[in-house]
Structure 1
Amino acid sequence: MTADPYPGYAWLREHDPVCPVGGPHVPGRMWLVTRYDDVRACLADRRLGSGAPVGPDPHPPGISHLDDPGHARLRRIVAAAFTPAAVSRLRDRTARTCAHAVESFAGRGRADLVAEYTREVPVAVMHDLLGVPEAERAPAAGVLDMWYRAKFQQPRDEAKLAEVLDYVRGLVAYKRTHLGDDLTTRLIESGALTGDELEVMVMTLIGAGHITTIQFLGTTVLRLLGDPGRRAALLGGDIDWSRAINELLRLDSPSHVAEYRYAGEDMTIADARVGEGDVVLLSLAAANRDPNRFPDPGTLEFTRDARPHLAFGHGAHTCLGSHLVKLETEIAISTLFGLLPDLILDIPSGEVDWGYAPTFRGPRALPVTFTPREPMISSPPGEATDHRDSTR
C-alpha cells in the first residue's frame, strides 16, 4: 500500500466521486464513494444492505453482515457492555495492561512499538473483556494474522478462517466451564444466542476489537513521535483528550473503507447509476478528508471539532466499540509517553512501512530508541479471574 493514499482520494473526490472499481474477488460491479456527504448518506441508506444478496457465505454471518431485524437483535444483546459507563470500568485494568506492556521492554532502550505495544494492548484488552485468561490466548501477532487473512484479505485465506473458527470455538468451550464476571459469561447465561451465534459474536468482538485499534494506536504514536510540542500539550492537560482523539480518528482513519454494502434496488448515488446487486464501497478515510466538510483537511488541528467524522461509521452500523477505542487510546498514549518520555523514532518517518490495505492502514513496525529505565515494582495485569463455581 502506498504510504500516502490521500492524493488519490482527493483526485477521486474532485473528478470521479462515485467511481467504478475493479473487484476480481467480488461478482458484479463495484463502486467507490469518496465524498463526505455521499458516504454519510450511503451509510444511513437502508437500500444499501450489509448482507451479500448472492453467493452467501456458508458460515453464519457476523453482526456487521446482517440487516435488521437480525442486526438490531444482536446489537441490543451486547450494547450494554460498550456504553460509556461500562467502558469506564475498564480503565484501571487497561492502565495495568499498558504499564505491563511498557515494562516488558523499558529496560532495553529500544523496541518495536507495533510488535511490543500497539499490537499487544488491543488484543489483551479485548480478551480481558471476554474473560479469556492469558493461558488460553493465542499470541497477539497470531491473532492479528488470523483475523486479517481470514476476514479481510482478498481472496480470503480459507485455512486461516478455519483456524479462527477453531480458536473461537475453543475459547467458548473454555468459558462454558469457567464462568466469571465477563462479557462471554453474560452472553452464555442470557440464553439469547444460539451456539453458532455465540461463537460468531465472540469472533466478531475479538476481530473488531483489535484489528482497527492496532492501526489507530500505531498511527497515533507515529504522529506524536514527530510532534513533541503537541504531545507535551496533550499529556500536560492543555488539550482535551476527547477532542484530540476525534481529530486523530478523522485524520488517520484506521478503517479506510466500510464493510461492503449491496444495492437492494436500482439507485443513484451522486450522478452514478448504481444497479441492484452492485457492491458499494464507502471510503471513510476519503470522506474524513473532504475539504467541503473539514477545512484544510490534511492538517492535524486539535482545536477542531471533528465529531462529525465517519471513522466509526454512521447510522445503524455505527461502531459499538467507539468509547472503548477512545479509552484505550488515551490510556495507551499517556502510559507510553509518560513512562518513556524521550522516545525517538529510529528510522526516518518516510521509511515507515504501511500495510493492511485496502481495508485498513497502519504502520507495520515502529522501531524506537529511548533511555532505558529500571522496571517499576508493580504487579502484572493478571489473568481473567473466574468468580463462580463453574459446576453450578
Structure 2
Amino acid sequence: MLVNDPGFMADPHPAYAALRTAAPVRRATTPDGSPVWLVTRYADVRLLLNDPRLSLSKRNSAGKGYGGFALPPSLDANLLNIDPPDHTRLRRLVTREFTARRVEQLRPFVRRVTNEMLDQVACQSRADLMAALAMRLPLTVISELLGVPPEDGQQFRSWTTNLLAPQPGQPPEQAKEAVAGLHRLLINLVVQKRAKPGGDLISALVSVREEDEERLSEDELTSLAFLILWAGYETTVHLIGNGILALLTHPEQLARLQAQPGLYPSAVEEMLRFANPNPFSIRRFPLEDVRIGEHTIPAGDTVLLCLAAAHRDPSRFRDPDRFDVAREDNAHLAFGHGIHHCLGSALARLETEVAVSTLFERFPGLALARPVDHLSWRPSFRSRGLQQLPVTL
C-alpha cells in the first residue's frame, strides 16, 4: 500500500529501503485504490525508464490502474502522454527553441526576482520560505518564459495555484474552473504571439510552426505551454523547499557551500538525488508482458518506477543516505533517462541554484524556526514537499 501517512511522508526512505531489499518488484495499491507495480532498484528503474516496451500513452492502459486528473484532449496530448514517432517529432521541434542557452539567458531575471522576493522578508525576524520564495519564484519565471502579459499575470497565478497547489478543503470545481481558464488563456496567448511575436518561448514555437514543413498544430502549441507550466511549477517549488531543508539539517554541508560557492551546481545535483520531490517517474504501461527478475508484469498494467528508492540504492551510490554537496559520481534519475528525459531540467536546475545560493548569501545565519520533526508535509504520495518552511532570518 502506498499511503499518505504523515510519518511516512516525513521520512519514507526506511520503507523504500525495505521494499528494495525484500521485494524490488511488487504489486502495490495507491491511496485511491488503483493497483500498480512498484519497481525500486536503481538498475531496474534506469533500464525501464528507457525501455520501448513501456508506453506513456494512456491508450495502452488496461484501464484498471490509471488514475489522474482529467484534462481536455488539447491539453492532454503532450510529451508526457505520447510515444514515438509522435513524441520524436514533437520533441525535435520543441528542442530547437527550448534550449539551454535560452534558459541561461533567464539567469539575471531569476536572480533579480529572487532578491525582490527576499527584500520583502528581509526586515522580518521570521518567514515561511515556501510562501515567500519557493511557491512564488517558479510561477514568475514560467510567466516570463512563456511571455504571459502583465495584465493576465494575476489571473494566471490564481488559476495555476488553484490547480497545482490547492488549499485543504478546496472544492473540486475550482480545479476544473482553473483548467478551463488556463486553457482559454493559453489559446489566446498563442493567438497574440502569432499576431505580435516577442522574445519569449511561445513566440519562438509559433515561429517554428509557421516556418517548418513539420509544423506544430494549435493543440500541440497549447499543450506544450500547459506542460511547461505543469511540469515546471510543482517540481521546482518543492525542489527549492526540500533543498533548503536539506542544507539546514546538514549544517556541515551548508558551511562547506558557504566556504566554496562554486559547489552550488554540484549541491543542486545532490538535492535532486537526496531530496527529489518526485518519488516516482510518470506511470507507464507495458505494450507486452515484461519480465523483471522473478516477476512478469502483464501488458496494460500500471508501472511506477520509484526514483526515491533508486536514489538510495547502495548498489549504485556510495553511502547513499549521506547528503554530500560535493558528491562526484551522482548519476541520479530525477529528470528521467533516455528519450523521455525532462525537457525543462535546465530551468529547474537554474531556478534552484539561484534561489538557494542567493538565500544563503543574504541570510548566512538562516535557521529552522521549529524542530524538523514538527514540519508539515503535503499529504500526497505523488509529490513529497513541505506545506511550510518556517525559518528565522
When normalised by structure 1's length, the TM-score is 0.86
1:18 equivalent to 2:29? Answer: no
1:143 aligns with 2:160: yes
Q: CA deviation at 1:230?
A: 2.3
Counterpart of 1:300 in structure 2 is 323
1:331 correspondence with 2:354: yes
Query: Who is 2:109 aligned against?
Result: 93
Tell me if structure 1 keeps the 8 A contact 2:228–2:344.
no
Q: Report the counterpart of residue 285 of structure 1 in structure 2.
A: 308
Alpha-carbon spacing, 1:272–1:161, altered in 2? closer, same or farther (3 Å) = farther
Q: In 2, distance between residues paired with 1:142 and 1:222?
A: 28
Deviation at 1:223, TM superposition (A): 1.7
In structure 2, the residue matched to 1:76 is: 92
Correspondent of 1:311 among 300, 319, 334: 334
Other-structure match for 2:56: 50
Larger mean CA deviation between 106-115 and 277-286 belongs to 106-115
Separation (CA, whole Å) in 2 of partners of 1:125 and 1:164? 17
* Alpha-carbon distance change, 7 to 210 in structure 1, aligned in 2, over 3 angstroms: same
Aligned with 1:190 (options 208, 218, 224): 208
Residues 228-251 of structure 1 show CA distances to partners (whole Å, capped at 9, x for unaligned) of: 442232133265222221111111
Q: Answer yes or no: is the 8 Å Cα contact 2:98–2:201 preserved in 1.
A: no
Does the 8 Å CA contact 1:136/1:171 hold for their aligned counterparts? no
Bigger mean CA deviation after superposition, 352-361 or 277-286:
352-361
CA deviation after TM superposition for structure 1 residue 87, in Å = 2.1
Q: State the secondary structure of the residue aligned to 2:144.
A: helix
Q: Deviations over 1:362-384 (max 9, x none)?
A: 111111222xxxxxxxxxxxxxx
Cα 1:178–1:241 change in 2 (3 A) is: same
Partner of 2:187: 169
Answer whether contact 2:290 2:299 (CA < 8 A) is retained. Answer: yes
SS in 1 for 2:291: strand
Q: Contact 1:288–1:310 (CA<8 Å) still a contact in 2?
A: yes
SS of structure 1 residue aligned to 2:10: coil
Q: Which moved more, 1:223-232 or 1:352-361?
A: 223-232
Shift in alpha-carbon separation, 1:118–1:289, aligned structure 2, 3 A: same
**Could you tell me which amino acid in structure 1 is paired with residue 117 of structure 2?**
A
Aligned partners of 1:82 and 1:323 also within 8 Å:
no
Equivalents in 2 of 1:221, 1:140: separation in Å?
A: 24
Instruction: State the Cα distance separating 1:169 from its structure 2 match.
Output: 3.1
Single out whichever of 32-41 and 76-85 deviates more from structure 2. 76-85
Fraction of identical pairs, as percent: 38
Aligned positions of 1:221-370 closer than 5 A: 221-237=244-260, 240-355=263-378, 357-370=380-393
Secondary structure class of the residue paired with 2:26: strand
Q: Is the 8 A contact 1:123 1:210 kept in 2?
A: yes
Structure-1 separation of matches of 2:241 and 2:20: 27
Q: Once structures 1 and 2 are overlaid, which stretch shifts more, 85-94 or 180-189? A: 85-94
The residue matched to 2:80 in structure 1 has which SS?
helix
What secondary structure sits across from 1:240 in the alignment? helix
Distance in structure 1 (CA, Å) of the matches to 2:299 and 2:207 = 41
Q: How many angstroms apart in 1 are the aligned matches of 2:98 and 2:207?
A: 18
Alpha-carbon distance, 1:94 to partner: 1.1
Output the CA distance in 2 between the equivalents of 1:145 and 1:298: 35
Q: For 2:73, give the aligned amino acid.
A: H
CA contact (8 A) 1:263 1:277 kept: yes
- Superposed displacement of residue 340, structure 1: 2.2
Q: CA deviation at 1:76?
A: 1.5
| Cα deviation digits, residues 94-121 of structure 1 (max 9, x gap) | 1111111111222223221101101111
- Residue 73 of structure 2 is matched in structure 1 by 59
2:140 is aligned with 1:124 = yes
Superposition CA RMSD, Å: 2.5
Task: Provide the secondary structure at the position in 2 that maps to 1:276.
Answer: coil
Structure 2 distance, partners of 1:356, 1:97, is 29
Determine the C-alpha separation between the residues in 1 that align with 2:301 and 2:203: 40
Match of 1:387 in 2: none
| Structure 1 counterpart of 2:169 | none
1:353 deviation in Å?
A: 0.9
1:383 is matched with none
Runs of 5+ in structure 2 lacking a partner?
64-69, 167-171, 210-214
Tell me which residue corresponds to 1:220. Answer: 243
1:202 to 225, 246, 249: 225
The answer (yes or no) to whether the contact 1:250–1:306 under 8 Å persists in 2 is no
Residues 343, 23 of structure 1: CA spacing in aligned structure 2 closer, same or farther, 3 A cutoff? Answer: closer
Residue 389 of structure 2 aligns to which amino acid in structure 1? L
What does the per-residue CA deviation read over 1:237-268, in whole Å, with 9 as the maximum and x for residues that have no partner?
26522222111111111211111100100110
Pair 148,315 (structure 1): closer, same or farther in 2 beyond 3 Å? farther
Aligned residues, how many?
Answer: 365
3-state SS, counterpart of residue 111 of structure 1 = strand
> 1:305 deviation in Å?
2.1
Asked whether the 8 Å contact 1:233–1:239 carries over to 2, the reply is no
Q: 1:195 to 1:231 in 2, by over 3 A?
A: same
TM-score computed with the length of structure 2 as normaliser: 0.86
TM-aligned CA distance change 1:89 to 1:239, over 3 Å = closer
Unaligned runs of 5+ in 1: 150-154, 371-392
The CA distance in 1 between the partners of 2:97 and 2:351, in whole Å, is 15
CA-CA distance at 1:46 after TM superposition: 0.3
Aligned to 2:66: none
2:198 aligns with one of 180, 187, 198: 180
Query: Once the 2 structures are TM-superposed, how far is the Cα of residue 82 of structure 1 from its aligned partner?
Result: 4.1
